[in-house]
Structure 1
Amino acid sequence: MTTKLETLQLALQTALGEGAAISAALGEVTVVVKAADYIRSMTALRDTPALAFEQMIDLCGVDYSEYGEGTYEGPRFAVVVHLLSLTHNWRVRVRVFCPDDDMPLVESITPIWRAANWFEREAFDLFGILFDGHGDLRRILTDYGFIGHPFRKDFPISGYVEMRYDPDQKRVIYQPVTIEPRENIPRVIREETYGTK
């Protein structure tokens, strides 16, 4: 007797072919597809009756630059999409790596699932991942003049600029960061009677 997870894996392998790496762990199925096969694979996941992933639940960017404590050698950026089939009551995670670390780019899935619109804008804003074919790819969470992408692992903790209200000019102004970087070392309390009084 095959389990529901095994049935899903078999249906995925049949629909996506050899171009997809399918794995299961902790009751969840992950599919890794190549950037060149991304749109074809996503369309197959939606349109194949044996899969019927009608709903895109989530899409996010990932920066793997320090993954595995710096031992990771693969592409730096990936897009991870979570899909739900209401028909079959199962979920799948799809991961696609951006082939170029200097200009991370994958196709937009907004023609397949319109719900991907703001998720892709968020991944662009926070990670700098570009989505080819997206109709309105602009920042969604950071300010209009923001420089950089704050969820990248190489983005400085304090940022580049800070904004504050200037009472003399009666407006918000931007200025270089004035915070001096420092390392916080927690104080270790070694008193034997600490907390008993």
Structure 2
Amino acid sequence: MTKIERLHETLQQVLGTAIANSKVTLGEVTIELHASQYLAAMTTLRDHELLKFQQLIDLCGVDYYSYGNAPCEGPRFAVVSHLLSVKYNWRVRVRVFAADDDFPSIASVVDVWSSANWFEREAFDLFGIIFEGHSDLRRILTDYGFIGHPFRKDFPVSGYVEMRYDPEQRRVIYQPVTIEPREIVPRIIREEAYGQGR
């Protein structure tokens, strides 16, 4: 049994029904947790003697509005985390889907790993995912007056509003976007003998 197979088996034994789906692909273990058991399972991943995932390396939001050039079936928003066990020198990817696409909400893991703080704020800012129990959930990358969540796949490329300095009011103001949407088709030049020896 390889190390990855042993980790996969251990995760299934320890987490049991909290795992909705799991797979080993390209030498990496990915587990999908049920949203209702997410916080308890993440705490188990950190504390259980056979796992000891002491470090949260990364946490991000994902929008599955369309995936692989096709509309997504099932929940739209997910949170993906990467955990590291220094004790056992192994990693795991954890994914959990928000149950409601209109108001995506997932439990915060800041109390499990304090490093999740800014990661969760970023996922909130860019995807609009609410992290229940986060004590300081506010925008971190966009302006406080920003409208919408720019990493959602249905967010317009030009945005909704633009900022500019108004010399008469002597302050920055927001106004509707003045850019007219247009489709730009690149000009392609092909040479018949391109890539062939001359």
Q: TM-score, normalised by structure 2?
A: 0.93
d(CA) in 1 for partners of 2:63, 2:5: 30
d(CA) in 2 for partners of 1:64, 1:76: 5
Report the residue type matching 1:4 in the other structure. K
1:61 maps to: 61
1:97 maps to: 97
Aligned length: 193
Report the residue type matching 2:55 in the other structure. Q
d(CA) in 2 for partners of 1:71, 1:162: 30
SS of equivalent residue, structure 2 residue 124: helix
2:14 maps to: 15
Structure 2 residue 80 is matched with structure 1 residue 43? no
d(CA) in 1 for partners of 2:88, 2:167: 59
Superposition RMSD in Å: 1.5
d(CA) in 1 for partners of 2:182, 2:73: 31
1:151 maps to: 151
d(CA) in 2 for partners of 1:137, 1:36: 20
1:189 maps to: 189
Q: Please, which runs of 5 or more residues in structure 1 have no aligned partner?
A: none
d(CA) in 2 for partners of 1:100, 1:159: 24
Identity of aligned residues (%): 67
SS of equivalent residue, structure 1 residue 59: strand
d(CA) in 2 for partners of 1:190, 1:25: 39
d(CA) in 2 for partners of 1:19, 1:41: 7
| Aligned partners of 2:18 and 2:38 also within 8 Å | no
SS of equivalent residue, structure 2 residue 180: coil
**1:158-169 counterparts in 2 under 5 A?**
158-169=158-169
